Amino acid sequence: MSATIIDGKAFAERLRGRVAAHVTRLKDGHGLTPGLAVVLVGEDPASQVYVRNKGKQTQETGMASFEHKLPADTTEADLLALIARLNAAPAVHGILVQLPLPAHLNAELVINAIDPAKDVDGFHISNVGLLGTGQKAMVPCTPLGCLMLLRDHLGSLSGLEAVVVGRSNIVGKPMAQLLLGESCTVTIAHSRTRTIEAVCRRADILVAAVGRPEMITGDWIKPGATVIDVGINRVERDGKMRLVGDVDFASAVGVAGAITPVPGGVGPMTIACLLANTVTAACRAHGLAEPEGLTA
């Protein structure tokens, strides 16, 4: 038996369609154009490609896209001054500062300088606290995308055993909070977890977010489990650069009940959820009813 392949690319396309419909409604009904500002510090080529994709998709859904590219040696004061301007700009409803930042900049300080209402990454401490206490927050895009795929595939997640591998602030921790909110029994496993394979093998839902290429093999997976692969690792294979996940797809696909591929799984959902969060932020900023199905 081979697993169902969860098509994140197709799901993300449909989600972007719904985002675009809401944008049209906001423009026509309220004269409101949601706007997303993306800040990139430095010239990392992968980040540049990624920021360009975000800008393109932002415009394709009818929103305003503001790109701020700053030199790698930008001072913290200059970056904070830009964030203060974006916080005050009425046309900007969402602000994303591309991570990682160059080493001389304090990422925590910078992220916490963003107005929490415009923090479409959901990384500000206020949003982290709101999510952890089950209050209305901006929800981090990658975990939100994973949750949407899980709900679509499984319906109710209540009572299921979920294992999140990886404890980052960006994916692992918020993912665990969302799964807890869905009444899963949640375990966070990480590099120090003993008998990590046995822990993973308990999972009805296994979310891999460790950043280690193909670490999780088929024998770590409970037969029939739903596997969400958050990893995006560039590796060289037969002289070519290839993109692989944290899950060894070839061995996992024969054991899992369903699995997300890399590419074409979680990655496209992350960007679609960023656009969805921007619409949500614009509605909240203007006291308008938020569209259903765009957030957790």
Ligand X SMILES: Nc1nc(=O)c2c([nH]1)NC[C@@H]1CN(c3ccc(C(=O)N[C@@H](CCC(=O)O)C(=O)O)cc3)C=[N+]21
Known binding-site positions for NADP(+): 166-168, 232
The string of DSSP letters for the chain reads --PEE--HHHHHHHHHHHHHHHHHHHHHHH----EEEEEEES--HHHHHHHHHHHHHHHHTT-EEEEEEE-TT--HHHHHHHHHHHHH-TT--EEEE-SSPPTTS-HHHHHTTS-GGGBTT--SHHHHHHHHTT-S-PPPHHHHHHHHHHHHHHS--TT-EEEEE---TTTHHHHHHHHHHTT-EEEEE-TT-TTHHHHHHT-SEEEE-S--TT-B-GGGS-TT-EEEE---EEEEETTEEEEE-SB-HHHHTTT-SEE--SSSSHHHHHHHHHHHHHHHHHHHHTTPPPPTTS--
| Residue 41 touches which of ligand X, Mg ion, none (Cβ within 5-8 Å per kind) | none
| Residue 268 touches which of Mg ion, ligand X, none (Cβ within 5-8 Å per kind) | ligand X
Instruction: Tell me whether residue 177 is one of the annotated catalytic residues.
Output: no
Q: Could you say whether residue 115 binds ligand X (CB under 6 A)?
A: no
Instruction: Tell me whether residue 98 is one of the annotated catalytic residues.
Output: yes
Draw the binding track, 198-237, toward ligand X (x: CB under 6 A; -: no contact).
----------------------------------x-----
Residues 254-283, interacting with ligand X (CB under 6 A)? 262-264, 267-268, 270-271
Instruction: Tell me whether residue 246 is one of the annotated catalytic residues.
Output: no
| Residue 83 touches which of ligand X, Mg ion, none (Cβ within 5-8 Å per kind) | none
Q: Could you say whether residue 296 binds ligand X (CB under 6 A)?
A: no
Q: Could you say whether residue 201 binds Mg ion (CB under 5 A)?
A: no
Task: Catalytic residue, from 115, 118, 119, 121: name it.
Answer: 121
Residues 178-197, interacting with Mg ion (CB under 5 A)? 190-191
Q: Could you say whether residue 169 binds Mg ion (CB under 5 A)?
A: no
In the set 95, 96, 184, 209, which binds ligand X (CB under 6 A)? 96
Tell me the closest approach of the beta carbon of residue 264 to ligand X, in angstroms: 5
